[in-house]
Chains A and B, each alone.
Chain A
Amino acid sequence: MKILEQIGKYFILMNRVFSKPEKNKIYYRQVLKEIESLGINSIGIVIIISIFMGAVITLQTRYNLENPLIPLYLIGLTARDSMLLEFSSTIVGLILAGKVGSSIASEIGHMRITEQIDALEIMGVNSASFLILPKIIAAVLFNPILTLISMFVGVFGGWAAAVVTGALTSTDYIYGIQYWFIPFYITYSLVKTVVFAIIITSVPAFFGYYVKGGALEVGRSSTKGVVTSSVLILLFNVILTQLLLA
């Protein structure tokens, strides 16, 4: 019953979030701020994770590929498709849920317990929309860019690992990443990224917005936000895969 109540509360909050902004100019400015805080500041971690992810996929595939009949360029194809289909959207999504989600829940939770949200309401500002909508828009706009960066850097990481360790030649790898390329995989990955972006921002914001108590509760709401959004990302990953690829 409590889960149903929470889901209902979440959708009521989203109804307020997606209402008409009081002043577009202020919201526009907020969106730019959030793009910097949630998106641009995440480029570093996305690059680091993706480069190592691409390298590990390449090396593991190489060490598990013992059949001499399978051409080595398929390692490049495996690295490419793994990055495109799963890692750049889902794994990066999970990492961002931790990084961005905890920051959103604690920021909004802190504003709640220090009555800053009440202050916004008293001024006549729709606090839910003012605080949450720019974050959702920023993530929906910028996370696809992070995913594209992750794809590119991950494939590059695979190439670097292959060349440095001698696992396969540069020519084989480059041929592999071009072999049987399906452009729809990128669309599929970007669609998932947009859905995950909404989850990563709105779910922790929901937990932060309704927090009651003090610093301890803000910490708990942050943990709840990250755990719930991570589980939802995994759930929607299955649903979207079935819908888009089956």
Chain B
Amino acid sequence: MIRVEHIYKKFNTETVLNDVSVTFEEGKTNLIIGKSGSGKTVLIKSIIGLHPIDSGSIFYHDRDFVSMTIKQKQELRREMGKLFQGSALFDSLTVDDNVRFPLDMFSKMTTKEKSKRVNFCLDRVNLHNVKSLYPAELSGGMKKRVAIARAIVQNPKYLFCDEPNSGLDPKTAIVIDNLISDITHEFNITTIVNTHDMNSVMEIGEKIMFIHQGIKCWEGTKDDILTSNDKYLNDFVFASNLAKKIKETL
């Protein structure tokens, strides 16, 4: 469980996060949704500590992240996995070495145990016979799956996914979404997914938070989203004419 309390973040004079408070639940796929530039990525990066917040608190299972030392933060981060928007695979390493990297850095496993774990993770994301390939030789969907394998290789307690299906076709996007959701339930991870893709929201969203211009405007489930009266949420969810007509029929 991750608890965020009254966080503020400014870049120069522009307020990007304005008094955001939310709790992300364990074993659930928690979604942060909002328009491009609404502050979703900044929120997720602030929670991880890549953007230091100006004020507020962040708790990882009652561990106060903001007051931790750099060393303590580094240790906590070993319990995290992150799927980046552009996958962020190390392009000088093969798929096998990318997934193995966190184990090489931090685990005390033998080479055989590491190989077994890498194979398990690659199998879990349905990737076979690509271990010796480099990221540049993979498709977008495959890169995402390698990135998921790398994110889960250390059995993380927390999984962060920044726009996991950007640049993917709708079918592959759903495969990736379901993979994230399945892994979340299987390993009881606190997963936070940052997206503006409504297909993802309706496919895997268990707890959803809507953010608009850095302010949390709405929170609920994917069923609540269709009947909400929040103006900004409705503008976002029912943006197209087709979606507006569907809304009228509800």
Residues of chain A having any CB pair with chain B under 8 Å: 22-23, 26, 114-116, 118-119, 121-126
For the complex formed, measure the closest distance between the CB of A103 and the CB atoms of chain B, giving whole angstroms. Answer: 13
Chain B residues positioned under 8 Å from A123 (CB to CB): 77-78, 101-102, 105-106, 154
Query: Which interface class (under 10, 10 to 19, 20 to 34, 35 or more) fits B?
Result: 20 to 34
Residues of chain B having any CB pair with chain A under 8 Å: 45, 48, 50, 74-78, 80-82, 84-86, 88-91, 101-102, 104-106, 154, 160
Chain B residues positioned under 8 Å from A122 (CB to CB): 48, 50, 77, 80-82, 160
A-B contact pairs, 17 of them (CB 8 A): A23-B106, A26-B104, A114-B86, A116-B89, A116-B91, A118-B50, A118-B88, A119-B82, A119-B90, A122-B82, A123-B101, A123-B102, A124-B76, A124-B80, A124-B105, A125-B105, A126-B74
- Report the bound CA distance from A26 to B90 in whole Å: 15
Chain A residues positioned under 8 Å from B89 (CB to CB): 116, 119
Chain B residues positioned under 8 Å from A121 (CB to CB): 50, 77
For the complex formed, measure the closest distance between the CB of B45 and the CB atoms of chain A, giving whole angstroms. Answer: 8
**Are the CB atoms of A119 and B106 closer together than 8 Å?**
no
Chain B residues positioned under 8 Å from A116 (CB to CB): 88-91
Chain A residues positioned under 8 Å from B48 (CB to CB): 122
User: Which residue of the partner chain, among A22, A26, A118, A125, contacts B84 with CB atoms under 8 Å?
Assistant: A118
- Report the bound CA distance from A119 to B105 in whole Å: 13
**Are the CB atoms of B105 and A23 closer together than 8 Å?**
yes
**Are the CB atoms of B88 and A115 closer together than 8 Å?**
yes
Chain A residues positioned under 8 Å from B76 (CB to CB): 124
- Report the bound CA distance from A79 to B102 in whole Å: 52
Residue of B with least CB distance to A119: B88
Chain A residues positioned under 8 Å from B86 (CB to CB): 114-115
Inter-chain pairs besides A26-B104, A122-B82, 16 sampled, C-beta below 8 Å: A23-B104, A115-B86, A116-B91, A118-B45, A118-B84, A119-B89, A121-B50, A121-B77, A122-B48, A122-B50, A122-B80, A123-B77, A123-B78, A123-B105, A125-B74, A126-B74
